[in-house]
Every structure is written in C-alpha cells, then in structure tokens.
Structure 1
Amino acid sequence: MLSRPNRLTRGVEYRAVVRGGRRCGGSHTVTYVAASPGDGTSRFGFIVSKQVGGAVVRNTVRRRLKAVCAEALSDVPSGTDVVIRALPSAATAPYAELRSEVRRCLAKRVPA
C-alpha cells in the first residue's frame, strides 16, 4: 500500500492538482497529474464519490486504485502529485482494466 508520505491528505492539495494539473480521462477514471511545489516524493489522492456506489463498493474501488498506484510508484517521477477520480463504471470494472487505464495516464509526463 501507499505509505503516509505518498498520500495527499488536505483538500487544498487536491484542489491544486485538479485545477492546475494535466487531465487524462478514461472510461473508468479521470487522472490529474501536476508538478508538486516541493521536490519531495510522488503523492497520490483518490476521489470516489457516492455515485460510484455504497460504502463497501467505494472502499473496494479506492483499495484497488491504491494498489495500482503502489505498483506504479517507481515509474512516476518524484515531485509529482496525482489525483484519480473514479467514475461510476469503476465499481464493475475488472482490476486489469483499471490498472491499464491508470498506467496509461501516468505514462504521460508532467508538463515542465
């Protein structure tokens, strides 16, 4: 799983990435990637609304997205903030589809 330094925790951080980051959409997720103000580690945040499903479904989707990001952590340049917003179709999407979609979006580099 993602350790504490690799997670976005404050609403201000989420808003900065969503408003100022590069957007990459897919059928199950929307991924926002932005350069972090500091040169720290890569950080990830997840937005899974009630439109995705009940609490159990939302937590399952969030855990699956965290696992995908933990696998891709070494491929993301340090100093990058990533926010992944799950769409309602993510609740029924196979893990392999989520992984390929998120990895495709993370492969696009952060603008300088």
Structure 2
Amino acid sequence: MDQVPAIERLKSRPQFLAAAKGNSQARGAVVVQRLERGDGDPVIRVGFTATRKIGGAVVRNRAKRRLREAARALVPAHGVPGSDYVFIARMGTADRPWERLLDDVKSALTRLATPRTALEDAPPTSRPPTSAGQDS
C-alpha cells in the first residue's frame, strides 16, 4: 500500500503568490493552481481562497469550507508529493451540487498531476494577420 504524504496548510501570502506562478486548471466551480516546489520534501501543502467577487463573507466562507472538505477527500489520492496547491473558489462553488464539485476538483487535480508535453510547453503559434478593419 502506498504511503499517504503529509498534508499541511499554506499560511503566508508569499506561499500563495509562489503557487500562482505554477500551472493552473479551471474546472467548473474551482480553479486549482499547482507549484512543484522541488525541495525534496514530500509534504503536500494546500491553501484556499475566495475573492469578494463571489459574494459576501458568508458565501466566501461556505465556498472555502466546501473546498477544504473536497481537498481533504481528494488530495491524498490525487495530489503530487512535493507540491503546493491553491484552491480558488469561483461563482458557483457555494451552490454547486457536492458530487459535481468533487468531480471538478478531481479532474483539475488529475490534469495537474499529468506531466506536460513539450508541445503544451511551446508558445502558441502565431496566426497570419487578418484583414479586419481594412476596407475592401
């Protein structure tokens, strides 16, 4: 049986800002950011945030509580050891049916756990300029 890595909380603003520089996946009612720390420590650190854009304090707190519970259920199985994760609540997080919220979190974690290919890391190809704005 695999050893479940220890899970800790992100507590300081610099930790959240560092995680924002990693990869991110938006799925339904949640955005998940992941940063591979590369420090050799297998601990998974998680943090949660919700902006005022999604509602007042009651709505934000409910959204974060739901994300904490989803992370508690899914990060041990789908998280990558040595990573920091930030879960960002979106508009529907507080009201989304629980099973759909779990699906959103699971699919974001799974996508972030798969290594990126060289094709995905390449910058987007430029398209030829369009003739928009020119008179014919």
TM-score (norm. length: structure 2): 0.71
Which residue number in structure 2 is paired with residue 60 of structure 1? Answer: 62
Q: Where do residues 2-21 of structure 1 align in structure 2 (5 Å cutoff)?
A: 6-19=8-21, 21=22
User: Greater RCO between the two (CA within 8 Å, min separation 6)?
Assistant: 1
Within 2, Cα distance between the matches of 1:110 and 1:11?
A: 27
The number of equivalent residue pairs is 107
Q: Does 1:107 align with 2:110?
A: yes
Within 2, Cα distance between the matches of 1:12 and 1:111?
A: 25
Given candidates 59, 62, 84, the residue that maps to 1:81 is: 84
Matched-pair contact (CA < 8 Å) for 1:34–1:111: no
Within 2, Cα distance between the matches of 1:56 and 1:47?
A: 13
String of CA shifts for 1:14-39, please: whole Å, max 9, x gaps.
001112x1111122111111112431
TM-score (norm. length: structure 1): 0.85
Within 2, Cα distance between the matches of 1:57 and 1:24?
A: 22
**Which structure is larger by alpha-carbon Rg, 1 or 2?**
2
Which consecutive segments of 4 or more residues in structure 1 shift more than 4 A? none
Identity rate of aligned residues, in percent? 27
Within 1, Cα distance between the matches of 2:92 and 2:64?
A: 13
Over aligned residue pairs, what C-alpha RMSD do you find? Answer: 1.7
What are structure 2's unaligned runs of at least 5 residues? Answer: 1-6, 117-136
Matched-pair contact (CA < 8 Å) for 1:47–1:85: yes
Q: Does 1:22 align with 2:23?
A: yes
More helix by share: 1
Moved more, 84-93 or 62-71: 84-93
What are structure 1's unaligned runs of at least 5 residues? Answer: none
String of CA shifts for 1:57-86, please: whole Å, max 9, x gaps.
111111110011111132212211101111
